[in-house]
């Protein structure tokens, strides 16, 4: 099985974020990490390759810093990487990101494409499904299990409130992967060494420019959410805070 994994670099979960001068994006001098569901997507691709042999290719878009995500993936066992390298990719909407990816892989023949189910920055949960439509492939979202069958694959979709559903589908297909589908591995020292010699293809914006258009949606402004609750902050030493909390639990919340 030849599997492409779409990965994204996002700000670290606990990184303090600040608005930039435009007021429509964050200041980018923060720490980054791989989008968590994408890490599970990569792990699942590696496990499928170990079972059925084949190749795992990872792809990302973004400035030079985003290469770190690909290097980590190569160190964990991906065979090669594709980097759509340009800062302008960061601001593309889901449709244009998917168009750029589709253009960059037009000479490849994958059996499966994985993405994380959504990103921790935009959170649109769209790129994978859009990519499937652009390629004319079937898709399934929020996947918790993948089993290869003679005629294609059987996947387990997560539905709301603890429900699930198995879906049989033909290949090639796009799957968006849910966090927790597997246990993540760590890169080994040997893996990190080998990663340095694995192929990494860079794709410039100019190479995919003809495939994309202006965004069909624009962020006009970004801001800290307006508070809807009057939050009371309790301060003091741990012992004082504990006493204050118990006072609230007894007199306000009335559960003691």
Partner 1 sequence: MPDTILVVVEQRECKLNRVSWETLTAGQALAAQTGWVLEAAVLGADVANLANEVAAKKVAKVYAIQSPKLEPYTPDAFSAALKQFIESKQPKLVLMPHTYQVRDFVPKLATAMGRSAISDCIGYKHEGSKLLFTRQMFQGKFVADVSFAGDAPWFVTFQNGAFRGDKVEAGASAAPVENVNVQIADGVIRNKPQEVFKEAKQAVDLTQAEIIVSVGRGIKEQKNIELAKQLAEALGGELAASRPICDSGWLPMDRQIGSSGQTVAPKLYLALGISGAIQHIVGMKGARTIIAINKDSEAPIFEIADYAVVGNLFDIVPPLIEEVKKAKAGG
CA-CA-CA-CA torsion sign (176, 178, 181, 185): positive
CA 184 to mean position of chain CA atoms: 14
Minimum CB–partner distance for residue 212 and partner 1 (Å): 13
From 142, 175, 195, 203, residue interacting with partner 1 (rule: CB under 8 A): 142
Q: Which of 46, 132, 175, 177 binds partner 1 (CB under 8 A)?
A: 132
d(CA 173, CA 195): 27
Q: For residue 208, give Cα distances in angstroms to 96, 135, 202.
A: 10, 15, 12
Q: Is 21 in the site for partner 1 (CB under 8 A)?
A: no
State in angstroms the smallest separation of the CB of 249 from partner 1: 7
Query: Of 98, 100, 105, 113, which lies in the binding site for partner 1, with binding defined by CB under 8 A?
Result: 98
Binding of partner 1 at residue 11 (CB under 8 A)? Answer: yes
Q: Of 76, 63, 75, 5, nearest to 32 (Cα)?
A: 63
**Cα 139 from Cα 37, distance rounded (Å):** 17
208 C-beta neighbours (distance < 10 Å), count? 21
* Interactions with partner 1, residue window 145-174 (CB under 8 A): 158-170
Q: Which is nearer to partner 1, 77 or 128 (CB)?
A: 128
- 35 interacts with partner 1 by CB under 8 A: no
What the block records as the tokens of 83 is 């980097």
Is residue 107 a contact residue for partner 1 (CB under 8 A)? no
Q: Does 234 bind partner 1 (CB under 8 A)?
A: yes
Binding residue for partner 1, selected from 64, 180, 201, 204, defined by CB under 8 A: 180
């Amino acid at each position: 099985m030849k599997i492409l994994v779409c990965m994204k670099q996002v700000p670290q979960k606990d990184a303090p974020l600040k608005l930039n001068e435009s007021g429509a994006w964050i200041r980018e001098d923060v720490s980054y990490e791989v989008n968590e569901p994408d890490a599970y997507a990569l792990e699942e691709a590696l496990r499928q390759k170990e079972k059925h042999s084949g190749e795992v290719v990872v792809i990302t878009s973004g400035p030079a810093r985003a290469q770190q995500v690909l290097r980590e993936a190569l160190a964990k066992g991906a065979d090669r990487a594709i980097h759509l390298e340009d800062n302008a990719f960061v601001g593309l909407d889901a449709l244009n990101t998917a168009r750029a990816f589709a253009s960059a892989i037009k000479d490849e023949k994958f059996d499966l494409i994985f993405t994380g189910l959504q990103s921790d920055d935009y959170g649109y949960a769209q790129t994978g499904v859009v990519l499937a439509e652009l390629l004319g492939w079937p898709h399934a979202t929020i996947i918790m299990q993948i089993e290869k069958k003679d005629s294609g694959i059987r996947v387990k979709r997560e539905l709301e409130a603890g429900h699930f559903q198995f879906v049989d589908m033909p290949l090639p297909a796009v799957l968006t992967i849910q966090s927790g589908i597997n246990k993540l591995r760590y890169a080994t020292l040997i893996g990190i060494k080998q990663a340095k010699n694995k192929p990494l293809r860079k794709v410039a914006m100019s190479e995919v420019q003809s495939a994309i258009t202006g965004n069909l949606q624009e962020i006009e402004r970004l801001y800290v959410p307006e508070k809807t609750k009057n939050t009371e902050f309790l301060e003091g030493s741990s012992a004082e805070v504990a006493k204050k909390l118990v006072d609230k639990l007894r007199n306000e919340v009335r559960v003691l």
